[in-house]
């Protein structure tokens, strides 16, 4: 899953693809580099980020989705917490909804996803982007995330989203410390208890920067690949990444090793 942020303030590439033509070119580039999904977001969810109004979010993402839909032969995902944005994106050509709030921010979003038959990624986040990194703590990290995701799955199915359209994401970096993120990756296979495909986003994130003492997100490629390899070995089905070519090649090697091991 290739990341395309149409934002001026995202942690890694804020402002880089704010121009609609450059956003289109980057989407085409990621598709040619082997992306299977393009994930388009107009609201930054970096730590400390403020909420963005619906109109501004739509103005950022809808023209880009319209320009890409039909031009590249892979699904488009809309990264949003808002029902109105999701519906406009699905009308414009998206087929996946990626909600970092796990359907808890906007009660109408689940119904929109069900109405359009969209695949839906339910992510775990403790708190909101504005406050999620203010000393997050857990009594039992993995169990609490699993129960939260189970609750999000219940919201989804109650709204009519088919079980087979649901994907889960434990939410690396969203209300987690360095130690929490490492534990999630180390124990990622435990999330298989939910019987859902697992999406994971480790690319360029701050926990990698802390491990490597690397403040520049764009310089965290090697660390991102290492975390992605561990995630795939532990059962991740989708990697949400900025560097599609490198991540795809690394994943192909892991898949080959896993196949030999399974055989």
Active-site residue set: 205, 240
Q: Three-class SS of residue 246? A: helix
User: How far apart (Å, rounded) are the C-alpha atoms in residues 126 and 49?
Assistant: 14
CA pair distance 263, 257, nearest whole angstrom: 10
Residue 71 CB neighbour total at 10 angstroms: 12
> Three-state SS for 139?
coil
Q: Which two tokens stand for residue 123?
A: 């992510």
Do the beta carbons of residue 138 and residue 183 sit within 8 Å? no
Q: Which two tokens stand for residue 143?
A: 């169990």
User: SS3 for 92?
Assistant: helix
CA pair distance 103, 57, nearest whole angstrom: 18
């Amino acid at each position: 899953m290739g990341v395309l942020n149409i934002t001026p303030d995202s942690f890694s590439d804020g402002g880089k693809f704010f121009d609609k033509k450059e956003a289109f070119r980057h989407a085409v580039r990621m598709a040619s580099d082997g992306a299977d999904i393009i994930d388009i977001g107009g609201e930054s969810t970096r730590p400390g980020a403020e909420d963005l109004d619906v109109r501004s979010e739509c103005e950022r993402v809808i023209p880009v989705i319209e320009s890409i839909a039909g031009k590249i032969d892979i699904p488009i995902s809309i990264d949003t917490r808002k029902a109105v944005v999701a519906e406009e994106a699905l009308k414009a050509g998206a087929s996946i909804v990626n909600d970092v709030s796990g359907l808890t921010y906007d009660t109408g979003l689940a119904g929109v996803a069900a109405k359009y038959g969209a695949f839906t990624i339910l992510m775990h986040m403790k708190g909101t982007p504005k406050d999620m990194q203010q000393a997050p703590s857990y009594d039992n990290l993995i169990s609490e995330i699993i129960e939260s995701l189970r609750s999000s799955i219940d919201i989804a199915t109650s709204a009519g989203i088919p079980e087979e359209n649901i994907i889960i994401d434990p939410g690396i970096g969203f209300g987690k410390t360095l130690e929490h993120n490492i534990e999630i990756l180390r124990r990622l296979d435990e999330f298989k208890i939910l019987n859902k495909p697992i999406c994971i986003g480790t690319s360029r994130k701050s926990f990698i920067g802390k491990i490597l003492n690397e403040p520049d997100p764009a310089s965290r490629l090697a660390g991102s690949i290492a975390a992605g390899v561990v995630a795939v070995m532990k059962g991740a089905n989708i990697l949400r990444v900025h560097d599609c070519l490198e991540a795809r090649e690394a994943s192909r090697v892991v898949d080959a090793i896993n196949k030999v091991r399974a055989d």
